Amino acid sequence: MGKVGLGLAVGCAVATCAIAAVMVARRVRSRRRWGRVVGVLKEFEEACSTSVGRLRQVVDAMAVEMHAGLASEGGSKLKMLLTFVDNLPNGSEEGSYYALDLGGTNFRVLRVQLGGRRSAILGHDMERQPIPQHLMTGTSEELFDFIVSSLKQFVEAKGNDSDLSPGKRRELGFTFSFPVKQTSISSGILIKWTKGFAIADLVGRDFSECLQQAMSKRGLDMRVAALINDTVGTLALGHYHDEDTVAAVIIGTGTNACYWERTDAIIKCQGLLTNSGGMVINMEWGNFWSSHLPKTSYDSDLDKDSPNPNDQGFEKMISGMYLGDIVRRVILRMSQESDIFGPVSSKLSVPFILSTPLVAAMHEDDTPDLSEVARIMKDVLEITDVSLKALKLVVKVCDIVTRRAARLAAAGIVGILKKIGRDGSGGITSGRIKGGSHCKMRRTVVAIEGSLYTSYSMFREYLNEALTEILGEEIFRHVILKVTEDGSGMGAALVAASHSARNIQ
């Protein structure tokens, strides 16, 4: 080989080595970046851990806080509000009642006809419409205009009140799903707004009185017979169909729970007497907090950026309003740590751009190439050409967020059961009844409503799985979660009926 040939060969070898070195370096960098993303995910997953041990701590904390909230006003982050609902519908109610449901994404007007025999809801008409965004933060005048005109239109369209005797007014059950300090069955003061509503001049006022005035002003002859919360409506409807129903839970835009409590356990209200010896307590459990809750830096950031920091901590980990945004925050962080999603998309910084239904759609994508995940990444977040490996990470984030939410909700439910002695942990006094020679666990029904539970099957599966884990198979068999759809609407009409002057004679 001549000198030129040798030079060429050496040159080629050097070039090959250089190319190889660049490729190796690139691969090492890419692996390091991938490692960083996996690190972000691992760290997040660990911080979200909900082992049975931890869930049991949450159960105990929930029961303890319930006691504290019943012991004194302000004794706990759980408000444990009196509802003045001291009898639950039992099927004997008769007549035609209206209901109005305000408290989340949608606004509903209903008319329910009751036939006086159990399960004899003769029929109901309903109209539903989304609440225009601008009304949620507008003026009280605009909000009442919207409510009353919808109600009026509905009455005009549907209201052939054939069973309304002359001189009798139409009666309305009003479901208002925000924290209210109830002053009677039909009146209550708005404590604060949640779920994105903020109409300052209504805080501290009797919402039901405001509605009553707005109706009179606009010539609608109707009486607010009951002001309730959506959870109370769900409990009422659940109880109407099944008398073993002792509690109700909502997991939709927000989350809350209520249950039937003995009056003698409501220590902060000594001397409270009801014919039934009990009353429904609205827990406002969205505000529950315990150091045992698995809180991550993403939860802290979400809270800090929210209009109500340090508030509704449990809700912010569980409900539909927030799950999507937790997922978005984790994907944003992953995107900042590496280029697995290409350059950081500006869409990832838009709060609430990723909704919980989209999270559900990605989580439940069963196509082999995760085409739905890819589509949502592209259409919503403007992130294109994501590798299958990276798409799988997105699904994993959805899974972690949803699993944690569902399991915490399950722990909350068991907390209630523990408080009322239906979790099977304390022998005979713990929800067992004597049955011959052995003790039998009592059947316990929890009414449940809200799109997270009803429309998101992975959420529902995780929740039920956690219930079994915490309670054990044996006890779990006696605990029934019953979907009670549209309790927030129908339930209000039922409570209006069971507390109406027409039925209590």
Report the catalytic residues: 108, 177, 230
Say whether residue 233 binds ligand ADP (CB under 6 A).
Answer: no
Instruction: Return the H-helix or E-strand segment holding 449.
Output: strand 444-449
Among the listed ranges 48-56, 100-108, 158-166, 231-239, the one in contact with ligand ADP (CB under 6 A) is: 100-108
Given the complex with ligand ADP, which of 298 and 432 has the nearer CB atom? Answer: 298
Q: With H, G, I as helix, E, B as strand and everything else as coil, classify residue 136.
A: helix
Query: Which of 104, 179, 238, 424: binder of ligand ADP (CB under 6 A)?
Result: 104
Q: Between the CA of residue 212 and those of 39, 104, 288, 495, what are the distances in Å?
A: 56, 21, 32, 18
**Binds 402, which of ligand ADP, Mg ion, none (CB < 5 to 8 A, cut-off by type)?**
none
Say whether residue 357 binds ligand ADP (CB under 6 A).
Answer: yes
Contacts 24+ apart (CB under 8 A), 114-121: 114/493, 114/494, 114/497, 116/91, 116/92, 117/91, 117/92, 118/90, 118/91, 118/92, 118/240, 118/241, 119/91, 119/240, 119/241, 120/91, 121/240, 121/490
- Give one word for 383, left, alpha or beta, with left for phi > 0 and alpha for psi -120 to 50: beta
**Binds 452, which of Mg ion, ligand ADP, none (CB < 5 to 8 A, cut-off by type)?**
ligand ADP
Contact present, 374 and 431 (Cβ < 8 Å): no
Say whether residue 194 binds Mg ion (CB under 5 A).
Answer: no
Residues 6+ apart with CB under 8 A from 208: 174, 176, 186, 187, 188, 224, 227
Residue 19 tokens read as 């190319």
CA distance 493 to 233: 8
Say whether residue 321 binds ligand ADP (CB under 6 A).
Answer: yes
Given the complex with ligand ADP, which of 189 and 361 has the nearer CB atom? Answer: 361
Say whether residue 252 binds Mg ion (CB under 5 A).
Answer: yes
Query: Which of 89, 278, 286, 450: binder of ligand ADP (CB under 6 A)?
Result: 450
CB 54, min distance to ligand ADP, A: 24
Among the listed ranges 88-96, 108-116, 248-256, 367-375, the one in contact with Mg ion (CB under 5 A) is: 248-256
Contact present, 151 and 216 (Cβ < 8 Å): no
Residue 279 tokens read as 């009353």
Given the complex with Mg ion, which of 32 and 128 has the nearer CB atom? Answer: 128
Say whether residue 306 binds ligand ADP (CB under 6 A).
Answer: no
Residue 413 tokens read as 């439910």
Query: Which of 330, 452, 470, 494: binder of ligand ADP (CB under 6 A)?
Result: 452
CA distance 87 to 354: 42
CB 84, min distance to Mg ion, A: 21
Among the listed ranges 11-19, 102-110, 296-304, 375-383, the one in contact with Mg ion (CB under 5 A) is: 102-110
CB 253, min distance to Mg ion, A: 7
Say whether residue 488 binds Mg ion (CB under 5 A).
Answer: yes
Please, what is the end-to-end C-alpha distance for the chain in angstroms?
A: 117
Query: Which of 256, 356, 430, 484: binder of ligand ADP (CB under 6 A)?
Result: 356
Say whether residue 451 binds ligand ADP (CB under 6 A).
Answer: yes
Beta bridge partners of 108: 101, 128
Contact present, 495 and 399 (Cβ < 8 Å): no
Contact present, 107 and 128 (Cβ < 8 Å): yes
Among the listed ranges 218-226, 246-254, 330-338, 362-370, the one in contact with Mg ion (CB under 5 A) is: 246-254
Among the listed ranges 38-46, 78-86, 208-216, 449-457, the one in contact with ligand ADP (CB under 6 A) is: 449-457
Say whether residue 320 binds Mg ion (CB under 5 A).
Answer: no
Say whether residue 455 binds ligand ADP (CB under 6 A).
Answer: yes
CB 105, min distance to Mg ion, A: 8
Closest CA to 499 of 75, 216, 184, 34: 184
DSSP state of 50: -
Say whether residue 456 binds ligand ADP (CB under 6 A).
Answer: yes
Given the complex with ligand ADP, which of 444 and 451 has the nearer CB atom? Answer: 451
Given the complex with Mg ion, which of 224 and 452 has the nearer CB atom? Answer: 452
List interacting residues with Mg ion (CB under 5 A).
104, 252, 488
List interacting residues with ligand ADP (CB under 6 A).
103-106, 252-253, 320-321, 355-357, 360, 450-452, 455-456
